[in-house]
Chains A and B, each alone.
Chain A
Amino acid sequence: MRRRSSLPVTFLLPTLAILLVLSMVPTLYAIVIALQNRELSSPGYSWVWFSNFADLFLDRRFLNAVWVSVKWEIVTVVATMVVAIGLGVLMFEVASPRMRNVYCLLFIIPVLLPRVSAAFVWKFAYHPLYGIATYPYRLITGGLIFDPLSKPATALFAVASVDVWQWGLFFAVIVLKLLETLPPQPIEAARLDHAKRWQIHAYVTLPMLKAPLISLMFVKMIESLRSFDLIYVMTRGGPGVATETLDMYAFSQGFIESGKVSYASAMAVLMMIATVITFTMLWKRVQA
């Protein structure tokens, strides 16, 4: 009865066609623009083929941006997973069912905030003179000034802390829910063998959750690519180029500093190729 219906075609085809058009038109056009020398200030353009790409590899600021982006990915993904697993296990171990519900609700709040809001909240908190997060430091040191966002050594970590505040706490909730889905027998068995609490998690529960935890990390890797809002509001890529990730640099090349749309697009195309290849490979591996 189901087989003969026209439903799959009428329900699926229009949506897929629209998704294809909406995604392929900009993607292909990004490549076209990258091969030209368009600028925002003038309507004329000509084809320059691969010279934008050649220029990129000689551009030290671009290479810096690649390195900053890689650092950002590693720092945020690792810290998020550590916080999530740590807090998730703690909730599982010591929180009563009622407290678990309370914590779950509290831990979801930061991730719901617009990143612009989260960035502002912490930009105020990190203010060297009036910030609430720097207040304990001022109190202990008797008024010394600590300005995490304007020091090249700490700026990236200060911005990354906001990302972990949003995602690490949220993922802790998911880790807890994953632990709750596990059957109790293996944990009981390990307990009878006098395994310590941390041993139970390190050798029994977390290995059992390997697949979902890897999927979770995969999601975080994708979401970490969207760092632009945080960095734009908190540091604008500064101090200097210490927090200038690829999207930040592409934006400032294309819009703020020089209006070199084609150059920015070449960068975006390289990012797109890198992420699509990496994540397709990772996804196939996760699924396998």
Chain B
Amino acid sequence: MKPIRPGRLIAKATLALAGFLAVFPLVWTALNALKNNVDIITRVPKVIFTPTLANIGYILGRDSVLTGLYNSVVACGSAVVIGIVLGLPAAYAVARYPNRFAGDIQFFVLSLRFLPPVAVAIPLMVIWLQVGLYDTLPALIVTYSLLTISVIMWLAIPAFQGVPKEIEEAAFVDGYGAYSVFWRIALPVAARSLIGAIAFSFVLVWNEFLIALMLSSSNAKTLPIVASELSQQGMNVPWGILNASVVLLSLPPLLFLGVLSGFLNSVFRQKKN
């Protein structure tokens, strides 16, 4: 029998604590979303309470929240679709038809991530004001497309490079053209990694805050903006309602947890081989 070493025990306890810290604050928020205000504002945290659906009902019944939800879904959805349509083919071209600019193109796409969001948002606000599109969804979609195209492209290049070359060569020999090799071979074979890249770009724009804050004043507010405004309703903060809105805002990205962790695994499996 192996002796139990104290070092190992401490290590396991540290890990367990970290795992607890990772999810507990979120679980607590979800519990608070189900509490009446009196059960939240207690000096000693209450674990046992009578749950209520009032907070969630209130959130889902408010026009501002529903508009925010609609705006977020439309703006992020459209930007992701544009990112797919423009980003995937470009990534394939870089991955499979290397030219002497390939390195520069990859660096350019990455460097878009260096731009401070304020530096993009301030001039865009002035521009959209001048062309009369300030505070509209099209303005937000165009701005977000810059994010989605570059991120999808950046992540899809290695995904396409991971497709075995022999399969594509065989398709060429069978008389497929360059475009049908892309459509019928590369896309389906790389699909799993590509879905991960697309999900990642969605989470990124769904979570985006600064640009949406600067580019909207009333009509085009996305859900993160609406949620942050709920906290500014006077001194008497409706905690349960705020917690409910945090839960609503956090659910869509968490739906992708499985897809994204699978994506992460496939990236590293590829590295190992």
Q: Which residues of chain A have a CB within 8 Å of any CB of chain B?
A: 1-2, 5-8, 10-12, 14-16, 18-19, 22-23, 25-27, 29-30, 32-33, 38, 87, 90-91, 93-95, 99, 102-110, 112-117, 120-122, 124-125, 129-130, 132-133, 135, 138, 143, 165, 169, 172-174, 177-178, 180-181, 197, 222, 225-226, 228-229, 232-233, 246-247, 250-251, 254-255, 261, 264-265, 267-269, 271-272, 275-276, 279-280, 283
Contacts and interface: CB of A to CB of B under 8 A. Distances in A.
A101 to B, nearest CB: 9
B167 interface: no
Given A15-B87, A113-B26, A250-B118, A30 B123 contact: yes
Interface residues of B, number: 93
B228 A177 contact: no
**B interface majority secondary structure:** helix
B62 interface: no
Contacts of A265: 119, 122-123
A257 to B, nearest CB: 15
B122 A33 contact: yes
Contacts of B14: 87, 90
A42 B89 CA distance: 44
Contact of B116 (A177, A178, A261, A271): A271
A181 B268 contact: yes
B119 A269 contact: yes
A109 B242 CA distance: 20
Nearest to B250: A117
B118 A228 contact: yes
A229 B116 contact: no
23 contacts: A2-B96, A7-B97, A11-B182, A15-B86, A15-B87, A19-B146, A23-B115, A27-B120, A99-B15, A113-B253, A113-B254, A114-B207, A115-B209, A121-B246, A124-B29, A129-B43, A130-B43, A173-B264, A177-B268, A246-B118, A251-B210, A261-B122, A269-B119
Contacts of A174: 264
A108 B256 CA distance: 11
B132 interface: no
B19 A102 contact: yes
Contacts of A93: 8, 11
A25 B127 contact: yes
A112 B122 contact: no
B179 A7 contact: yes
A116 B97 CA distance: 41
Contact of A19 (B21, B109, B265): B109
Interface string B162-198: 0000000000100001110010000000000000000
B191 to A, nearest CB: 18
B71 interface: no
Given A30-B122, A283-B110, A114 B224 contact: yes
Nearest to B142: A22
Given A115-B207, A121-B29, A18 B123 contact: no
Interface string B207-248: 101100110000000001001100100000001001100100
A169 B41 contact: no
Contact of A108 (B115, B227, B261): B261
